[in-house]
Amino acid sequence: MSDELQFLSKMENLLGLTVEITMNNNTKIIGNIFTYNSQAKIIILVNKQKENENTNVSIINMLEIKKIELSKKQIDINVDELCNNDLNYIKDKEKRNLEKDILIKRAETEPNFKRGLDVYEALSKFYKCSYDGKRIVLDEIGCYIEEPFRLKHLYCEDENNRERLEKIISSAIKKKNKKI
């Protein structure tokens, strides 16, 4: 078996383990072996010392390695979890972009929906709220506004909240009317 094949078979057994790599210039790098690429001659290490720290990623040129040793202290990093978190983030972002595109298309054909979307965008800067196309609900203060999203369709028990909401809604409607 060639030296390279022996090295690659050893690398396969080291995936996920914590190693200490000594470089040709005697620099030492510690981390979990995430993956390697024999064609590109690189090893990718991930290292996270403490729970609240960011994960460090090191890309190491195999030709610069003097030696690889198993670390005495194994660092527990769930590599699959790292990958899945990135994947979930991308999927969520794509879903939000698709939902936004659908809302924009609907807003082009339905004027009340467009006004509701404008009011929702303005209110969501200050409050946690939800919009179903017919009603914007601000759960945390117990208020809502219904279609066609005019001030007379605002329902709110607390007068202080009502005044603030009226200002936000009025400014959102006025800004959008000026653009038209």
Domain boundaries, given as residue ranges, for the chain: 3-77, 110-179
pLDDT exceeds 50 at position 180 = no
Report residue 69's pLDDT band, with 50, 70 and 90 as the boundaries.
Answer: confident
Percent of the chain, pLDDT > 70? 74
**Quick one: pLDDT at residue 40?**
80
User: If you write DSSP's letter for every residue of 43-75 in order, what string do you get?
Assistant: EEEEE--STTSPPEEEEEEGGGEEEEEE-SS--
CB atoms within 10 A of CB 11: 17
Give the integer Cα–Cα distance in Å for 125 and 110.
23
If you average pLDDT over residues 26-33, what whole number do you get? Answer: 87
**The CATH number of domain 3-77, selected from 1.10.3720.10, 2.30.30.100, 2.70.98.20, 2.30.40.10:** 2.30.30.100
Q: What is the pLDDT of residues 118-165, one digit of tens each?
A: 898 899 888 888 888 889 999 888 899 998 889 999 999 888 888 999
CB atoms within 10 A of CB 131: 19
56-91 in b/e form (b: 16+ CB < 10 A) is eeeebebeebeebeeeeeeeebeeeebeeeeeeeee
Residue carrying the six token digits 């890309």: 59
**Quick one: pLDDT at residue 79?**
54
171's enclosing H/E stretch is helix 159-179
Q: What is the pTM of this model?
A: 0.44
